[in-house]
């Protein structure tokens, strides 16, 4: 019984660690750019550039692949999803229309689905299946 508990502690600890890593990655890639670009025709874009989002996705992909290979699938999926969702909520919650909740929900669903798929593929590849 003690052996099973000792194996599950690192798995559980990986969840808050990966949430923290995801929050830091969001802050590094997206946290500093908060201004929308206004074009001459009056349209706006931003606040993020494509290269920033790609950088965040690739950073998190590397982390999720590494933890999935090490066997911490719950940490990779739940921790990353929680961290990215919390970061999106913190960054977008000042939207007066309330539509930020839709975006945060989509980030949560997308990050959960993607990290789950990546983790399952890595776990199967590791086992040789």
pLDDT given at position 10:
79
The pair of structure tokens assigned to 118 is: 């990546």
DSSP 24-79: HHHHHHTTT---PEEPTTS-EE-SS-HHHHHHHHHHHHHHHHHHHHTT-HHIIIII
CB atoms within 10 A of CB 109: 12
Alpha-carbon distance of 102 to 85, in angstroms, equals 12
pLDDT given at position 127:
81
pTM comes to 0.85
pLDDT given at position 103:
94
> What string of pLDDT tens digits covers the 129 residues of the chain?
455 555 677 788 889 999 999 999 999 999 887 777 777 887 777 788 889 999 999 999 999 999 999 989 999 999 999 999 999 999 999 888 889 999 999 999 999 999 999 999 998 888 876
pLDDT given at position 6:
54
pLDDT given at position 95:
84
Torsion of CA 23, 24, 28, 34, to 10 degrees: 40
Report domain extents, the chain: 2-127
pLDDT given at position 4:
56
Alpha-carbon distance of 62 to 6, in angstroms, equals 26
């Amino acid at each position: 019984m003690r052996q099973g508990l000792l194996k599950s502690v690192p798995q559980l600890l990986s969840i808050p660690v990966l949430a923290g890593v995801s929050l830091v990655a969001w802050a590094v890639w997206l946290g500093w750019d908060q201004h929308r670009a206004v074009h001459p025709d009056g349209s706006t874009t931003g606040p993020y550039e494509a290269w920033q989002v790609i950088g965040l996705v690739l950073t998190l992909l590397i982390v999720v692949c590494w933890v999935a290979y090490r066997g911490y699938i719950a940490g990779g999926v739940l921790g990353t999803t929680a961290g990215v969702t919390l970061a999106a909520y913190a960054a977008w919650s000042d939207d007066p229309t309330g539509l930020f909740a839709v975006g945060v929900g989509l980030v949560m669903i997308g990050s959960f689905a993607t990290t789950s798929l990546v983790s399952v593929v890595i776990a199967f590849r590791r086992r040789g299946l």
